[in-house]
Amino acid sequence: MRNAYPVWVYALIALAILAGGLYALPNIFPEDPAVQVSNTRTGEVDPTVVSSW
């Protein structure tokens, strides 16, 4: 059986799928809350922060 389309059509389809996958990749991973580090030097840690770990 012969290919119905030229090779460049298959390459274009593969490129479109790859570009779409890269574009959708950030939606696959959920957001993680970030830990913010500050330079306040209070020396105290909030107990609610410790209990969430």
> How would DSSP label each residue in 1-53?
---SS-HHHHHHHHHHHHHHHHHHHHHHSPP-PPPPP---------HHHHHT-
> How far is the C-alpha of 9 from the C-alpha of 7, rounded, in Å?
5
Residue 35 has pLDDT above 70, yes or no: yes
pTM: 0.51
pLDDT band at 37 (very low <50, low <70, confident <90, very high): confident
Query: In this structure, what token pair is assigned to residue 51?
Result: 């209990």
For 4-30, what is each residue's pLDDT tens digit? 899 999 999 999 999 999 999 888 877
Residue 46 has pLDDT above 90, yes or no: no
